[in-house]
Structure formats: C-alpha cells, structure tokens
C-alpha cells in the first residue's frame, strides 16, 4: 500500500513520461473568431476585451489575426475570407432600433454552415428599463448575449463560456493565445478531471476492500490518478502560455512532488487526523485531491508562486467541501450500475398437506348420556354403561386412511407338489 509521498513521486514520473505531442498539436491548432458588425458597433473594443488588451497597445498584430473584424455591408472578398473562420460573432448596436443590414448579413452567412453567436454591444449606454428588455430578446429562437465591452467582466462572464461551449476542440488554443479565456478554460479542465478521477475511484472501490486506517489507494489506483493529473497539469501549463517543454523544468518537479502533501492535508480536512476510510471518503479524496492539485497548479501558472499558509488551507477547505457534495451522487450512481442481486426464495412456514403414510388421528367415542370419552374400541360407556354409537365403516375408513391389504390365508395359499400329487 503506497503512502502520501508516493503520490508526488508517481505524479512527477507520469508528468515526465507523458505523451505530449497530441496536446501540443491541440494547443497550436489555428482558429479565427470573426467579429461582424456595422461600423461603430464596438468590434475593436470587444476584440481588446477578448485578448485582454487595451486599444492602441503595442503588439496587437499577434492576436489581430485570431480576431479579424468585418464591417457591414460585406464585400465579396470578406465572404470568401469568412469561410475559414471557426466562429462568427455578429454584433448588434443596442443603441440602434433597426437591424436590416445585420439580418441580411446573417441570412447570407448562414449558407457558410459556420456556428454563429449574436451579441448586443453598448448595453452600458441604455437606460435600465431598455437594458432589461434587450436582455430578454431572442434572435431566431436563440438568446442574444448582452455585452458591455468596456467592462471586460461581462465579456468573461457571458460571452467566453458561450464560445468555449461552441468550440470545445479549440479551448486549449483559445486560452493559449487569448489570456481572457484562461481562467474559464482552467476551471473546466480541473472540474472534468476531478470527475474522471472520482468516477474511477468509485468503480475500483466497489470491487476491492477499502482499508480502515491506511491510505485507501493501492498502487494501481495511484498510477491511474497520477496519469490523469499529469495530463491535466501539462494542459494547464500550455493554456497559460508556458513553453512546450515546461513540464521538464526543475520548478515543475518540485511542484509535482509536493502534491502528496496537498492530498494529505485534504484528507485531514475530509475525515480528521485519524481517518477511518470508506468508499465515500475514497471517492472524496480522489475528487478533492484533483481539485486542490489543479488549483495549486493554476495559481502557480498565474503568479509563479506555490500555495502556502492561509491560501493553501483555504484551497483545501473549499475542495473538501465541494468533494462532500459530489461524492454522494457518484457513489450512488456507481452502486446503481451494479447488476441486481436476485432476491432470496422464501419458503412458506407450512405446506398445509398431510402425508398419506400417516393416517388421521382417531377420536375416542363420546357417550351420548354422560358425555364422557371411553376407550377407543369400547362398545359401551365405561362410566354409565350406555351403548355407544357405532360409526359407519366408510366414514371410519375415510378418517383413518385405506385399510392395509389382508394377509394371505392358509386357504388361499397354493398347494404344494406333494398335496397335488395325492
């Protein structure tokens, strides 16, 4: 049975042996988010908000190719160029009242077969009542996302999750090139990997016994969980713009080998200093350990510092609280997936049948004069001398069962040879 330090060593080994080529290809996957709208609809402001840049900042060419802008009405070369876009974002100026050009462009662009998101821009310039009405508007059955591009928080809260849901295969490349996507993408990756590890722990814990005092993970469990942690860790590093070989750095080694301490502190948060492990706590350890490890790596990628002191305790506490909420449903689903155990056959207490080999019990005759019972074969009452009634032979035979066959008499025996000769 491995201990807590083995988690860090196996985690570091899995990180160095990870097949990084598929993840690198996913991180370098090209994409283009086309921003389409009328002149003055806020396309440049939205592009700066998505790239976490300010208008007029130097070095805008690096992300301008990822966020091209197209003004209405569209030219022929613009339509040809839009064919290579991964997503179309149509902007509607909320201060306008007519969108004839936008409707015509949307009808024309629908033939490209590209996913499209429709957004209101300049929502901050509207009165409160108009803002509420525009916030509930729909475009051909889909909701229109209300944006205030001058406030990047609204873009990060409303538009970025919609883009990640529409383009799940571009999530890593989006976060690597556009910093505004990194936090949302990292939270999704950490949550998904935590569910994967918890599901594995639930399935493996049903088939094996969980120790009471020692760590409830065997060597095979630790290898599988650490392999998933390594993939999550390398993906987070690429999302935050680190080098392609960052996982071989000495800082990554110290970060990975400290994962065992994080899991140990999380276990203390789950069950206390002397844990009594069970299936629920094993699943909670796998889920919460993945959460706290991912959050520690995310903090290191953002600031370059590891979690310590109060921040580390807060991360363990929040991960343990979230693990308790998720563990119950996962364990219940895992137990429901098991094949149903056939119910035990219940036998009746008594069959209510009488075997033919045991005749029915005969009752003693009762005197009609004095009412006392006499011996079984008595013809007269033993107390007053009155003749007792005789039961019919058929009724008596029916109660006592069939009479045995009579033995062969001397007259029915076959004659011997000597007697026949005489």
- Calpha distance 127→51 (Å, rounded): 28
Give the end of a domain, one of 303, 336, 369.
Answer: 336
- Whether 118 maps to a domain, the answer reads yes
159 and 186 fall within a common domain: no
14 and 36 fall within a common domain: no
Report the candidate in 260, 263, 258 with the shortest Cα–Cα distance to residue 316: 263
- Whether 227 maps to a domain, the answer reads yes
Burial 46-82 (b: 16+ CB within 10 A, else e): bbbbbbebeeeeeebeebeebbbebbbebeeebeeeb
- Whether 208 maps to a domain, the answer reads yes
267 and 151 fall within a common domain: no
Contacts of 109 (CB under 8 A, 6+ apart): 36, 79, 82, 88, 90, 116
10 and 82 fall within a common domain: no
Indicate the burial class of 251 (C-beta count within 10 angstroms; 0-12, 13-18, 19 or more): exposed
51 and 155 fall within a common domain: yes
329 and 193 fall within a common domain: yes
Give the end of a domain, one of 312, 336, 360.
Answer: 336
Residue with the larger pLDDT of the pair 137 and 190: 190
Report the candidate in 177, 171, 182, 219 with the shortest Cα–Cα distance to residue 297: 182
111 and 245 fall within a common domain: no
Report the candidate in 20, 52, 61, 30 with the shortest Cα–Cα distance to residue 243: 20
Give the end of a domain, one of 284, 305, 336.
Answer: 336
Contacts of 368 (CB under 8 A, 6+ apart): 386, 388, 389
242 and 297 fall within a common domain: yes
What are 184's two structure tokens? 């949302």
Residue 308 pLDDT level (bands cut at 50, 70, 90) = confident
In this prediction, residue 129 carries a pLDDT of: 62
52 and 185 fall within a common domain: no
In this prediction, residue 135 carries a pLDDT of: 59
Per-residue pLDDT at 36 exceeds 80? yes
Residue position matching structure tokens 């490349």: 173
Stretch 87-113: mean pLDDT: 85
- pLDDT above 70: percentage of residues in the chain: 76
- Whether 251 maps to a domain, the answer reads yes
- Calpha distance 393→367 (Å, rounded): 19
- Whether 147 maps to a domain, the answer reads yes
- Whether 264 maps to a domain, the answer reads yes
Average the pLDDT over each of 40-54, 142-156, 221-235, 394-408 and give the range with the smallest value: 394-408
Q: Both ends of the chain: CA-CA distance in Å?
A: 102
Residue 420 pLDDT level (bands cut at 50, 70, 90) = very low
188 and 162 fall within a common domain: no
Stretch 321-348: mean pLDDT: 69
Task: State pTM to two decimals.
Answer: 0.73
Report the candidate in 142, 149, 173, 145 with the shortest Cα–Cα distance to residue 161: 145
* Domains: count for the chain: 2
- Whether 376 maps to a domain, the answer reads no
Domain that holds residue 317: 4-24+181-336
- Calpha distance 376→397 (Å, rounded): 15
115 and 241 fall within a common domain: no
Per-residue pLDDT at 31 exceeds 70? yes
47 and 145 fall within a common domain: yes
CATH number of the domain encompassing residue 97? 3.40.50.300
């Amino acid at each position: 049975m491995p201990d807590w330090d083995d988690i860090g060593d196996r985690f570091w080994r899995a990180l160095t042996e990870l097949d990084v080529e598929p993840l690198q290809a996913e991180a370098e996957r090209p994409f283009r988010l086309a921003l389409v709208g009328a002149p003055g609809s806020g396309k440049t402001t939205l592009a700066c908000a998505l790239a976490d840049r300010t208008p007029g900042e130097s070095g805008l060419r690096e992300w301008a190719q990822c966020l091209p802008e197209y003004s209405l009405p569209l030219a022929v070369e613009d339509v040809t160029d839009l064919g290579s876009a991964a997503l179309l974002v149509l902007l509607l100026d909320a201060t306008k009242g007519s969108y004839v050009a936008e409707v015509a462009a949307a009808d024309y662009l629908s033939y490209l077969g590209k996913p499209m998101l429709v957004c209101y821009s300049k929502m901050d310039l509207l009165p409160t009542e108009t803002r509420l009405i525009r916030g509930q508007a729909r475009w051909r059955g889909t909701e229109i996302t209300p944006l205030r591009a001058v406030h990047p928080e609204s873009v990060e809260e409303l538009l970025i999750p919609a883009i990640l849901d529409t383009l799940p295969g571009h999530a890593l490349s989006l976060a690597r090139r556009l910093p505004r996507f990194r936090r949302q993408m990292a939270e999704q990756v950490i949550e998904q990997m935590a569910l994967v590890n918890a599901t594995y722990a639930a399935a493996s814990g049903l088939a094996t016994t969980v120790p009471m005092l020692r760590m409830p993970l065997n060597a095979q469990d630790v290898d599988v969980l650490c392999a998933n942690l390594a993939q999550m860790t390398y993906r987070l590093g690429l999302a935050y713009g680190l080098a392609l070989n960052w996982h071989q750095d000495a800082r990554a080694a110290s970060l990975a080998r400290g994962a065992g301490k994080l899991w140990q502190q999380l276990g203390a948060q789950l069950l206390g200093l002397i844990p009594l492990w069970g299936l629920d706590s094993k699943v909670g350890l796998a889920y919460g350990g993945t959460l706290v490890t991912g959050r520690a790596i995310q903090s290191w990628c953002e600031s370059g510092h590891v979690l310590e002191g109060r921040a580390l305790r807060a991360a363990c506490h929040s991960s343990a609280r979230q693990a308790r909420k998720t563990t119950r449903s996962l364990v219940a689903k895992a137990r429901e997936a098991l094949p149903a155990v056939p119910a035990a056959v219940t036998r009746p207490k008594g069959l209510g049948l009488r075997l033919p080999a045991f005749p029915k019990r005969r009752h003693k005759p009762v005197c009609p004069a004095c009412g006392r019972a006499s011996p079984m074969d008595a013809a007269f009452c033993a107390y007053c001398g009155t003749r007792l009634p005789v039961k019919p032979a058929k009724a008596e035979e029916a109660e006592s069962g069939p009479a045995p066959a009579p033995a062969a008499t001397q007259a029915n025996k076959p004659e011997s040879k000597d007697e026949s000769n005489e």
